[in-house]
Amino acid sequence: MSEPRNRQLPYNRAMPGNQDLAVLKPENQSVTHVTPRIAELIQGLVREEIYVIGARPPPLDSNRNETLKQKAYIELCAFIKRARVIKKDIDWKKEDRLVPGSDYVHSVKIDGQKYCVSGKN
């Protein structure tokens, strides 16, 4: 008769204890890999070791960046100005409701501008 083979234990028996706590141990940690853009965004926000992979993104053109900021500011001011108007013309249709009888709709027209919250127009 042959001897029993040396079998590996199933995964759930190989790591006794709480698996959620086991992954937090230093010997089970791995370095997080991120793109250069993400590395710039999270700098100073995370304490773990990160490894940046990939080529550096091209530097942003400062003139273009300023133009985009000015455009966004002007658009924001226009939105605020429209929001401060006391009397608004609000229009919506029954068929735009999420479900029959609901107070929530897929789209609404406010002062002639249509706003949609889903792919349904």
Sketch the domain layout of the chain as residue ranges. Answer: 14-52, 62-116
pLDDT tens readout for residues 26-63: 888 888 899 988 988 888 888 888 899 998 777 777 88
Tell me, what amino acid is at 47?
A: R
Residue 71 binned pLDDT confidence (cut-offs 50, 70, 90) = very high
pTM beyond 0.85: no
d(CA 20, CA 61): 45
d(CA 86, CA 66): 33
What confidence score (pLDDT) does residue 100 get? 87
What confidence score (pLDDT) does residue 5 get? 62
φ, ψ (nearest 5 deg) of residue 7: -90, 150
Query: Quick one: what percent of the chain has pLDDT higher than 90?
Result: 15
What confidence score (pLDDT) does residue 28 get? 83
Write down the mean pLDDT value for the chain. 82
